[in-house]
Structure 1
Amino acid sequence: MNPEVGSVMSYFHKLFPVVVYTKEVPINFERPSLYFPTPFTFDGNDTTNTFVKTYNLTVKLFHQDSQLADSKAELIADAVRSNRSVIPIVDTKGVETGDFIRFGRIETRIGDKGVATIIMEWTSRYYFEEPEWNVAEYIEFQSGVKE
């Protein structure tokens, strides 16, 4: 799993401690609960050394009815917004790494029959892979005047 998605899951779960689904939602799933699908990604060039990936994650929040679901989704979104749209990145043990995710867009939508969605978008920068070069350790020049 992408560490950024895992960090979003951790942050949401601290705000709304319910069952979290990451694979397909079972037929008899629990309510309230959260569903984190794999995010959509778009890529692009950034600098001569980096490229960017824009992530779009649509989290589904299930509750007893649509109004409760939307209310909880809006509370979660507002918690992120009030933190300047920034959340910390955590490692696999849940410990903050010192890095963060800044969201460019946070949107909530009310769904039908007890479902609300939280749509989040962010951009991450990654370095291109650089080939390994052999370092020249000794260079000898012979010079002279051409006749």
Structure 2
Amino acid sequence: MTTPEERIAALGLEIPDVVAPLASYVPTARTGAHVFTSGQLPVVKGELVATGKVGAEIDPERAAELAKICALNAIAAVRAEVGDLSRVRRIVKVVGFVASAPDFYGQPQVINGASDLLGEVFGVAGRHARSAVGVAVLPRNAPVEVELIAEVE
């Protein structure tokens, strides 16, 4: 059986460093068996990799890739909290926010980028409840933001 970390490597990905908070909050909060992540932006090596509205400056396919980056950042935050991703029993809930042009309605498909990655990394334990919400604007003009709740050992 492979570990989540091995599955991430098999996908050609690396778990990044935890993104430093942009304001007065912490990357995760743990209560009992649940880890809640703060919203994660598509940040790679400390830099926001895209800005703008989905359906205007950002096409939906690119936005789904950005949601995948957000999910990878959330995974990094969970690992920093619990030490080993094998301790994740399941991903319980994902909330995805999409900065949307007024006539863009494909938020669920964008957030599939995050959901699909979680399924690939955690298998059945990566299946989760989810909300995909269109918003007017996100911090730093990011096109997408993802947060999650994980149940851990």
TM-score norm. by structure 2 comes to: 0.35
TM-score norm. by structure 1 comes to: 0.36
Higher helix share: 2
Higher strand share: 1
